[in-house]
């Protein structure tokens, strides 16, 4: 009987794992799409139609997305070592971001298979642009993750509203593959339950 009860508890914990904090670690990807990564003059009414710079090549990211215990907030922490943006239509010098850190917390709806942003968010982007330090607030939009088993895919955009560096507004859109980590609290409870039943 105790064995059956332990099995049932394990299934229940796994089934309700979305109620516990979930950590997604970036496995690959970053800034990829040229048409979703660009810069325009600060204050432009429509950044896309007045852009001055576009992503020159893929910029790989590291970091994580972590949801809270209730599954209602996601904390984003990404890093890019270097990202180069070429002038449009050119010629001219590239704008180069280095040692960039993106962070913020947004409201989400989440389950064991999806994370979806529900309200506009604001975060902070810091780093170097052409060797000059910057720190700026940034809008955060369109955080979505699709999870299946041990893999997942997430997208999220920082900017262009209020993401201002070097007299440009920037849009940096992440497309990353992630590795979901097991819900820590669920594992701890399951382990404790297992030890308790084993002693009996």
Q: What is the DSSP letter of 14?
A: H
So what's the pLDDT on residue 6?
45
So what's the pLDDT on residue 9?
44
Which residues pair with residue 122 across a beta bridge? 139
Q: What is the mean pLDDT of residues 56-69?
A: 97
Q: Where are the beta strands (DSSP E) in 95-131?
A: 95-110, 114-117, 121-129
- The CATH code that applies to domain 22-181 is 2.40.160
| Tokens found for residue 154 | 């997430």
Tell me the per-residue pLDDT of 18-47, one tens digit each, with 9 for 90 and over: 445 789 999 999 999 999 999 999 999 899
Spatial distance between the Cα atoms of 80 and 100, rounded to a whole number of angstroms? 5
Q: Are 139 and 121 in contact (CB under 8 A)?
A: yes
So what's the pLDDT on residue 24?
96
Which residues neighbour 35 within 8 Å (Cβ) at sequence distance 6 or greater? Answer: 54
Count of alpha carbons within 13 Å of 112, Cβ hemisphere only? 12
Mean pLDDT of the chain: 86
Residue 192 has pLDDT above 50, yes or no: no
Residue 96 has pLDDT above 70, yes or no: yes
Q: What is the mean pLDDT of residues 115-136?
A: 97
Please state the pTM of the whole predicted model. Answer: 0.83
């Amino acid at each position: 009987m105790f064995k059956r009860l332990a099995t049932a508890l394990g299934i229940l914990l796994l089934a309700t794992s979305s109620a516990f904090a979930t950590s997604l670690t970036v496995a690959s990807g970053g800034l990829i799409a040229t048409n979703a990564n660009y810069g325009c003059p600060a204050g432009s009414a429509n950044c896309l139609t007045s852009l001055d710079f576009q992503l020159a090549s893929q910029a790989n990211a590291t970091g994580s997305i972590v949801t809270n215990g209730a599954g209602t907030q996601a904390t984003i922490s990404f890093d890019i070592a270097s990202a180069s943006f070429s002038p449009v239509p050119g010629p001219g010098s590239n704008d180069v971001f280095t040692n960039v850190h993106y962070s913020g917390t947004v409201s989400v709806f989440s389950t064991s298979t999806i994370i979806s942003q529900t309200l506009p968010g604001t975060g902070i982007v810091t780093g170097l642009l052409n060797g000059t330090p910057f720190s700026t607030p940034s809008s955060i939009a369109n955080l979505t993750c699709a999870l299946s088993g041990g893999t997942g895919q997430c997208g999220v955009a920082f900017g262009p509203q209020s993401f201002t560096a070097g007299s440009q507004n920037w849009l940096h859109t992440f497309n990353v593959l992630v590795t979901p980590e097991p819900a820590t609290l669920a594992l701890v409870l399951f382990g404790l339950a297992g030890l308790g039943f084993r002693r009996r």
